[in-house]
Copies of this chain bind each other. A is one copy, B any other.
Amino acid sequence: MRQVRVGLAQINVTVGDLDGNTQKIIDYLHRARNEGVDIVSFPELAVTGYPPQDLLLKPQFLKDNLACLQEIVKETQHIAAVVGFVDREDDIYNAAAIIHNGKLLGVYHKVYLPNYGVFDENRYFQSGIRNQIFQINDCVLGMNICEDIWYPGGPTTLQALSGAELIINISASPYYVGKPLYREHMISVRAADNVVVVAYNNLVGGQDRLIFDGYSLVVNQAGQVLARGKLFEEDFIVTDINLDDVVRTKLNDSRHRKEVLNLKLSGGPTLPKSVSISPPERITRPVEKKSPPQVNPFLPKVWTFAYNPYKEVYEALALGVRDYVRKNGFSQAVIGLSGGIDSALTAVIAVDAIGGENVLGVSMPGRYSSQASLDDAEQLARNLGIDYKVIPIQTAFDAYLETLAEAFKGTPQGVAEENIQARIRGNILMALSNKFGYLVLTTGNKSELSVGYATLYGDMAGGLAVISDVPKTMVYALAEYRNSVAGYDLIPKSTLMKPPSAELRENQRDMDTLPDYAILDGILHAYVEEDKSLEEIVALGYDRDMVMDIVRRVDGNEYKRQQAPPGLKVTSKAFGPDRRFPITNKYRG
């Protein structure tokens, strides 16, 4: 029986940390060899981290990355490895090296460079035109990179038609809600369509706004999932693949024959002919004794489970916070606790991410803060066991009013006075950050940020916007999810029940200014994430004046969003590099 043992190193690397990433790759190489792995793979651009952005425009960075690859090559005695790095030949390429026994056997260049959504790969790389396949012992393998496998007729198909039985795809595929499942469906169909085993090795970890969810996959030639990597954690996935199964399936499923003939007749892309043969020295690994599988082989293998999108988003956010804090050299975070749902959820996520001992909650009561809110903030801090300070803003607010008395003479109180209070709070948190080294986590949600219901330099002041891509309705769902895991009202029930308010003027409530959040989020989803027109949104059944008002607010607040701290992406379209809008923009529609 021809069998190959594949190991997928689903690792968490850091952008720019060439030495640290290289050491981690080498550690996993050794681990893989110890576990009898024949071929070990690493994520896309594992050497540099992903996305390296304009570091790629520094010649020295490219050189240093190549030197790291040489270090890795030396460590591949008795094992084969597929490693993501930046290749530099006539131009630079997003590349995968295949290395075996201390020798670089070949390099693949990513063909399809994504340049939409959060991606900018045409800014940096030339597209590859090579399409080699490689033989390692008995195994003929093709490799490709991330986007390549999302094209149904792309490199995976050409490599499979050329004889590859195993495709290793190395990826850095960022998360949004539901993406892991969708990706699994796609990989499963791709494997079955091409009658090839797919080992899909994704990156894991947070990088600024992006969260890479891991969830690497090994899928057999029939589209059955043989193994899954953990979500949101480092993992090492070792799988034995029976290559004769691929042959058997191909003899029974002859679609590939027609495809090969079509290609030959059409004069289309040439099938790769040059198959590199690895040195004669075979990789040897311990033989295991196995007991026969216990499942009924006559039933289809179907994976059923209860999917909980809120659990998924929650864990994504915790990873995003943990990695942003850790990779930027912080250990502690400070959060303004208003007693409201947004800051409560942010605090709970932060505690789960970096530990309650590293989180400080600060209540900053002002003239319009309700006692109930202060009680809720304190109760939350007690539930979380975090340090908690009360720093009132009234003295500073009075000082501003006195300072501005002459300039403001004869004007009615309004937004200016409201914002001053929010900005005092921002300044206090930043002062604590400057003095003691806390990272300030902001607490605004996506619904607020969409319509500009937030104060620039006030509640928007901080290093990371934890839930700024979470719509308000999902904020509630995440809070309820987390309370259900805790088994009690970790986030106080009163926080969940009371009507949302910024408490910046007497009896203020969000609903005085904004529609009900269920309505608002429906309009925002249609406008921001789906790019629907005003007419199309009205046709969904929303009130025309309301839609016009919301659309106008979204467009008019782009200037605030462009000064917002980076926010963790968990939806299909987050503000920031994922949605690039002009500030100066007279289009209304």
For residue A564, give the distance in angstroms from its CB to the closest CB of chain B: 7
A587:B399 contact, CB within 8 angstroms: no
Binds B, one of A36-44, A176-184, A403-411: A403-411
For residue A141, give the distance in angstroms from its CB to the closest CB of chain B: 31
Interface residues of A in 50-99 (CB under 8 A from B): 51-55, 57-61, 64
A584:B328 contact, CB within 8 angstroms: yes
CA distance A432 to B536 in the complex (A): 39
> Which residue of chain B has the shortest Cβ distance to A432 in the bound complex?
B407
Q: Which residues of B contact A411 (CB under 8 A)?
A: 435
Could you say which of B122, B420, B435, B587 contacts A55, with CB atoms under 8 Å apart? B587
Interface membership of A449, Cβ < 8 A: no
A interface, size bucket:
35 or more
B20:A586 contact, CB within 8 angstroms: yes
CA distance A392 to B431 in the complex (A): 20
For residue A115, give the distance in angstroms from its CB to the closest CB of chain B: 4
Interface membership of A589, Cβ < 8 A: yes
Interface membership of A531, Cβ < 8 A: yes
Could you say which of B408, B427, B580 contacts A435, with CB atoms under 8 Å apart? B408
Interface membership of A395, Cβ < 8 A: yes
Task: With A59-B531, A399-B399, A416-B431 as known contacts, state yes or no: A208 contacts B583, CB within 8 Å.
Answer: yes
A435:B414 contact, CB within 8 angstroms: yes
Could you say which of B57, B120, B206, B432 contacts A531, with CB atoms under 8 Å apart? B57
B400:A559 contact, CB within 8 angstroms: no
Interface membership of A283, Cβ < 8 A: no
Q: Which residues of B contact A393 (CB under 8 A)?
A: 403
For residue A258, give the distance in angstroms from its CB to the closest CB of chain B: 28
Interface membership of A430, Cβ < 8 A: yes
CA distance A132 to B403 in the complex (A): 67
Interface residues of A in 390-442 (CB under 8 A from B): 391-393, 395-396, 398-400, 402-404, 407-408, 411, 414-416, 419-420, 423-424, 426-428, 430-432, 434-435
Q: Which residues of B contact A430 (CB under 8 A)?
A: 419, 423, 456-457
Q: Could you give, for residues 356-368 of chain A, a 1 whenever the CB lies within 8 Å of some chain B CB and a 0 otherwise? A: 0000000000000
Q: Which residues of B contact A324 (CB under 8 A)?
A: 584
Could you say which of B52, B61, B419 contacts A431, with CB atoms under 8 Å apart? B419
Q: Which residues of B contact A585 (CB under 8 A)?
A: 15-16, 55
Interface membership of A341, Cβ < 8 A: no
> Which residue of chain B has the shortest Cβ distance to A327 in the bound complex?
B584
CA distance A177 to B53 in the complex (A): 25
Q: Could you give, for residues 552-589 of chain A, a 1 whenever the CB lies within 8 Å of some chain B CB and a 0 otherwise? A: 00000001001111100000000001011111111111
CA distance A404 to B411 in the complex (A): 30
Interface membership of A151, Cβ < 8 A: no
Chain B CB within 10 Å — which of A323, A391, A559, A580 has the most? A580
Interface membership of A461, Cβ < 8 A: yes
> Which residue of chain B has the shortest Cβ distance to A60 in the bound complex?
B533
Interface residues of A in 292-342 (CB under 8 A from B): 323-324, 327-328
Interface membership of A488, Cβ < 8 A: no
For residue A419, give the distance in angstroms from its CB to the closest CB of chain B: 5
Chain A interface (Cβ < 8 Å from any Cβ of B): 14-18, 20, 51-55, 57-61, 64, 115-116, 120, 122-123, 206-208, 323-324, 327-328, 389, 391-393, 395-396, 398-400, 402-404, 407-408, 411, 414-416, 419-420, 423-424, 426-428, 430-432, 434-435, 456-457, 461, 463, 531, 533-536, 559, 562-566, 577, 579-589
Q: List 12 A-B contacts (CB under 8 A).
A: A14-B586, A55-B581, A59-B531, A60-B535, A206-B584, A327-B584, A404-B432, A408-B431, A408-B435, A427-B457, A457-B457, A563-B563
Instruction: List 17 additional contacts besides A420-B431, A562-B565; criterion CB under 8 Å.
Output: A14-B586, A15-B582, A15-B584, A16-B587, A51-B582, A57-B531, A58-B589, A208-B584, A324-B584, A391-B407, A398-B399, A404-B431, A416-B432, A419-B431, A419-B434, A559-B565, A563-B564
